[in-house]
Each structure stands twice: as C-alpha cells, then as structure tokens.
Amino acid sequence: MLAKDLVIEDGVVTTPKTDILDSLYLMLKHRRRILPVLTGSKLVGIVSVASYIPAIQSMDSRKPETILVGEILNEQPFVASPNTEASYVADCLCAKGVYGVPVVSGHEYMGMIRREDVISRFLVLIKGKFKAMDVMSYNVSTCSIHETLEHLVKRISAGIERRVVVMNVDKIEGSITFEDLINVILADKSDISKLSVSDVLVPIQASVKKTDDAAKAAQFMLDWGINAIPVVDGGGLEGIIRDKDILQRIQVLM
C-alpha cells in the first residue's frame, strides 16, 4: 500500500500569515494536533500542538494574536510522496511529536496522513493479536486534582509531558492534554494563577482493562477522537495506551 491510498485532503489548513490564535481555534475545532501550512498550494511547513510552546513561553512579552504561524512552523517536517510506502509513513508517525505526515507531489500539497488514519485503516491487523497489557505503558504522568494549573503549565511548557491523568488520591478524575492547556492559556479566558487542574480537566470518556483486546482501546480512540486510553484494574490506574503504542504494533504486522 502506498501513501496515495491513505492520504486525506479535507481543506483544514493554515498559512504563514495567520495568527496563532486563529490557527489554534481551527486545530481545536477540527480536533487536529497538526496543520499543514500552505502558501497557495505549496507546502511550506507544518504547525503542531508542540509548536505553541514558544508562544506560551513568550506570553509575558507578546500577545498571542501578534504571533504568526510563520514564526513557529516547522519548515522541515517528515513528508511523503504519493508513491511512498505506507510502512515508511507508519515509521514516521511513530517518531516523537509526529502526529501527521503531509503528502506532496513536488511541492504541491495533496493531503495529510495522520496517526488515526493509519490506525483506522489497519485496525483489523491487531484484532485478537494483543492484549491491553501487551501494548500499554506503565509510565503514566499524573497530577493531583488539587494542583494549581500554573504549576502544570510549567511542566507542560518545559516539554516534560503532553498529557496527564488527574487523580484524587487513587481515583481517576479525568485528564488534561496539551491542547486543553493551550486552549485556556492562549484564549486568555482566566488568570491561570487562580485556577486548579479541576477547572480544566476533561472527564475520562473510556477506559480498558489489562485483559481487554488492544483493538478495543484503538476503537475507543477512533470513536471519541482521543489519542490515549487509561488502563484500569478495580478502578485503579494501571497504565495508559497511546495512539503511538497502537501504531507500533501495527507497524510490526504491516
């Protein structure tokens, strides 16, 4: 299978001259973690959720609406041609911080292949092959429901975490992703020094047990438009399955 068999062109793009607030709203509206940056039909780079870290760090000196996408874009992302093997695309998507691979013919943008696109197409390969315990990571970033949002923002902007599970002692209350934080910070809704994580957390939409089929976790991700599923046992947090964990198993079977 080739990249041209997986690529999707949905018109969700941005430009170098768009301010980062507008591109952020577009990203959140369409549940994207990556946007292609185009000048006309030419791909000039990509902007991902991680691209906003410099914007967050410069908040004291600049307003976000004065920062343009052209200042934070990645000009040298992984790219594929229409005839690139799908296995190479999967390799790229397993790299840290790579949520999508643009497909270009010459410099002309054709569309994007995202992690969820590959998982959806190849989900059948892992059904019945792996249990959640075979796929999950035991290293889960957590925080207390009583932690200040300001402290969590510092952890996120330092690049330490991209998602944390919010705990109330041993009970899972929800999670907070990088997207959730930048939505609050860049939209300038509140003074973050006065907020706690309980003001921002998103309730867990789904979870799996260690003995569940890993494909169940993957299907939950696709159904809910999320990129990670907690693994629980008796109500306690055991680990987490990320979209990259699923991709790595698919990659072995391709």
Query: Which pLDDT score is estimated for 96?
Result: 77
Q: Give the other-Cβ count within 10 Å of 11's Cβ.
A: 6
Cα–Cα nearest to 219, from 131, 153, 79, 123: 123
Kindly state the DSSP code that residue 127 receives in the 8-state scheme: T
81: left (phi over 0), alpha (psi -120 to 50) or beta: beta
Tell me: the pLDDT tens digits for 47-100? Answer: 987 777 666 666 666 777 788 999 889 888 899 999 999 989 999 998 877 889
Of the ranges 121-130, 168-177, 210-219, which one carries the lowest mean pLDDT score? Answer: 168-177
Query: Which pLDDT score is estimated for 247?
Result: 92
Separation of alpha carbons 228 and 243, rounded Å = 6
pLDDT at 159 over 70: no
- pLDDT-derived band at 33 (thresholds 50, 70, 90) equals confident
Alpha helices in the chain (DSSP H): 20-29, 53-57, 69-72, 86-93, 115-126, 132-135, 149-157, 178-186, 214-224, 243-253
- Sign of the C-alpha dihedral, residues 43, 44, 50, 51? negative
Tell me: the pLDDT tens digits for 179-235? Answer: 777 777 665 555 667 777 888 888 888 899 999 999 999 999 999 888 899 999 876
Cα–Cα nearest to 14, from 102, 78, 120, 82: 102
Average of per-residue pLDDT values in the chain: 85
**pTM confidence score:** 0.82
Query: Which pLDDT score is estimated for 135?
Result: 94
pLDDT over 90 for what percent of the chain? Answer: 44
Query: Which pLDDT score is estimated for 204?
Result: 84
Query: Which pLDDT score is estimated for 60?
Result: 62
Q: Within 13 Å of residue 10, how many CA atoms lie on the same side as its CB?
A: 15
Tell me: the pLDDT tens digits for 196-209? Answer: 788 888 888 889 99
Calculate mean pLDDT across residues 167-173: 85
Separation of alpha carbons 180 and 28, rounded Å = 9
Alpha helices in 36-173 (DSSP H): 53-57, 69-72, 86-93, 115-126, 132-135, 149-157
- pLDDT-derived band at 12 (thresholds 50, 70, 90) equals very high
Domains in the chain, CATH or no CATH each: 3-120 (3.10.580.10), 132-253 (3.10.580.10)
pLDDT at 131 over 80: yes
